[in-house]
Structure 1
Amino acid sequence: MLATQTLVQKHPKNMKVDVRGRLPPGATAKDLALHVMRCLGTAGGTGHVIEYTGPAIEALDMAGRMDNVVQLKASEAGQLVTWGTTPATAIRLDDALPDPAAIEDPTRRKQTEQMLRYMGLSPGQKLRGVPVDVVFIGSCTNARIENLRAAAEIVKGRHVAAGVRALVVPGSGQTKAMAEAEGLAELFTAAGWEWRESGCSLCLGMNAPFHDPDGHRGRPALAGYRHGRSIVPPSW
């Protein structure tokens, strides 16, 4: 590269992700993205240029859109949460957590064992009913003005439960200014949320890094998703 000022790249393959049907009530583009990652894995698109098509994609607004064909049903997405340290661990609240003993691939089996142990969860357990200590709305992909407006609709008229810490970190300075001008910041603070400065936060361990009761915190690189079992991560 230093000699030629060029990089050698392989010609990428084509992949088409065709999403049929409609998203169920309450599901958003984020749930759809998690569903795709759950089906393909976080490395499923490596070496490919991906085109997203289908009625469910066409129905998304611009904020939601950001020769192998993967055909998915939008109705299977639902409202998803991630239980592990990778977005590929997305499941519904009433789905059972995987049992490593049933996974044939040794690498995936070891990874699943490590994630369950790290998060303090058990095979077959369901996430509904797991106590929540911290709720975090933030990161570049989950704290756009559209995200904050949607969250504010849920927060309106409610208050953070006793014993729970709730934080909002707008994704940019412009988003923060827009939210404050629309009265969203006041709504969140009145409901007991902390309104923080914009930028990278819990994902990267910045913006007054947060430690949970077990001593975990946001870290850079691969450990960025490892916050601890008591924290609702950005992808929820």
Structure 2
Amino acid sequence: MTPPRTLYDKLVDAHTVADLDGAGGTVLLYIDRSVLNEYTSPQAFTGLREAGRPVWSPRSMLGVVDHVNPTTPTRSATMPDAGGAEQVAYFARNCRDFGIELFDVLHPLQGIEHVVAPELGFVLPGMAIAAGDSHTTTYGALGALGFGIGTSDIEHMLATSTVVYRRLKSLRVEVTGRLPTGVAAKDIVMSLIGRIGADGATGYAIEFAGEAISALSVEGRMTICNMSVECGARGALIAPDERVLAYLRGKPRAPSGELWERAAAGWLRLASDPDAVFHRTVHLDAQSVEPMVTWGTSPDQAASVLASVPDPAQEASDARRRDVARALDYMGLTPGTPLQDIRIDRAFIGSCTNARIEDLREAAAVLRGRRVAYGVRAMVVPGSSAVRRQAEAEGLDRVFAEAGFEWRQSGCSMCLAMNDDVLAAGERCASSTNRNFEGRQGAGGRTHLMSPAMVAAAAVCGHLADVRRLGV
């Protein structure tokens, strides 16, 4: 009799081509599909060219330009620097020569890879997806095992549709209860990261479950799975349910007709066995979660927006005191300052974490009838061209523009300083992104992570603010 297994183990077992260490700890894992970008793929393609190897399964790959492209309101294929232009040109050449479909800057389906792939139905439950970006964990929201890989692994994957994979331990995060009004999926995952630390899930794949998770939209689940990597997880999963089927039904690359019916029935059986044993379990009470913001330079340096800047002297260890002191020095913050007293210069809504249509709707609900505070520059970058068109069809672009936000084209944008959307040294930004590392949004830039609705609230108040107090 087969022992009870977690969903993670079921997916790994289903994709194992060979047991490499004789104990199932390191396996050769078959990869169903991958999304490539212009930034992390060049060396892998160069390796293939030098070895004279083809791509094993070009139809299982999708190329998307998203990292270095400009997001100016008028779409342009001109890169802001010579290096970016070279990356995009080489990526186009590689996709053409190796037979891989490409969504370039001017393609109507261009966007951030982790937004584009799900909205196409390119990622489906039960798949294993590996890609050269750590936030490939996003796809766990659909019941797919997604994880990031390095350049040498990308080359191996392109050539063989497999990767050498070390099996992870399993961590179950059960979120009970219902989220209060004004609290979002982003607040759940930020609360988790703050609780277990930036390395608290290192070596684990997380499975999220519980009433609060089941009640989330698929887009909210993507936010949670996307940011799971920020506590060290190399995989995140949520068992697919009827919400996932409703999300995928009718997507361009999803199956249809009888094939859909057969696939959907199988997808609903993708779940951990009731008596499956996890290596570790963490419980969160959704009703205790409050709107979260980061105050430091790591995603785990976060607190309720109602809290104050921590005092390094109150930390339990010398290492922790040094970390907090360094973060506060970089962020230019004084211990004891109420977080809501921290003024901002910039507000950014975008990224693979929070730039889907649901995110834009929630931010627009806060901004409707309000104006961005004097001295704050605010911008919104839809996660894909399709999201941008849908938002315009709903009139959300007008809401953002009337509030004083710049309405821009899709791309990674100010999530990372790899294009022309960057913070100046010392500028402070309320951001819906996933990382607040030193220099992440620009050398000397200071980033406070939060949900899109919280970014909107900060933009109109001119400082970090509790969105619940705006009565939305």
TM-score (normalised: structure 2): 0.46
Q: Secondary structure at the match of 1:150?
A: helix
Name the residue aligned to 2:211. Answer: 55
Going from structure 1 to structure 2, the CA distance change for 1:106 and 1:223 (only over 3 Å counts) comes to farther
Q: Does 1:228 align with 2:445?
A: yes
Could you tell me whether the CA contact under 8 Å between 2:423 and 2:445 is conserved in 1?
no
Task: Choose the corresponding residue for 1:203, options 403, 411, 415.
Answer: 415
Unmatched runs of 5 consecutive residues or more in structure 2:
1-152, 223-278, 456-472
State the partner residue of 2:182.
Answer: 26
Structure 1 140/174 Cα, relative in aligned 2: closer, same or farther at 3 Å? same
Displacement of 1:113: 1.0
2:124 pairs with 1:124: no
For residues 145 and 136 of structure 1, do their structure 2 counterparts lie closer, same or farther at Cα, with a shift above 3 Å needed?
same
2:393 matches 1:181:
yes
Give 1:59 deviation, angstroms: 1.3
Which residue is 1:108 aligned to? Answer: 320
Aligned equivalents of 1:191, 1:75: Cα separation in 2:
31
Are the counterparts in 2 of residues 169 and 198 from structure 1 also a CA contact under 8 Å?
yes
The CA deviation at 1:105 is 3.2
In the alignment, the residues of structure 1 paired with residue 436 and residue 399 of structure 2 have an alpha-carbon distance, to the nearest angstrom, of: 31
8 Å CA contact retained: 2:385, 2:410: yes
CA contact (8 A) 2:172 2:281 kept: yes
**Number of positions where the alignment pairs a residue of Structure 1 with one of Structure 2:** 235
CA distance in 1, matches of 2:306, 2:287: 16
Equivalent of residue 35 in structure 1, options 185, 191, 202: 191
Written as runs of structure 1 = structure 2, the 5 A alignment for 1:45-194 is 45-66=201-222, 67-194=279-406
Work out the percentage of aligned pairs sharing the same amino acid.
Answer: 44
Give CA deviations for 1:148-201 in whole Å, capped at 9, x if unaligned.
011111111111122111111111121112112221112211221111121111
More helix by share: 2
Amino acid at match of 1:48: Y
> Aligned partners of 2:360 and 2:300: how far apart in 1?
24
Distance 2:373 2:317 in 1: 41
TM-score normalised per structure 1: 0.87
Distance 1:200 1:221 in 2: 16
Between 1:143-152 and 1:107-116, the stretch displaced more is 107-116
Say which SS state the counterpart of residue 78 (structure 1) adopts: coil
Larger radius of gyration: 2
Residues 50 and 232 of structure 1: is their aligned pair in 2 closer, same or farther, counting only changes over 3 Å? closer
More deviation, 101-110/214-223: 214-223
Partners of 1:215 and 1:186 in 2: CA distance: 27
Note the alpha carbon deviations across 1:181-233, whole angstroms, 9 max, x for none: 2211122112211111211111212453333363689999874267634x654
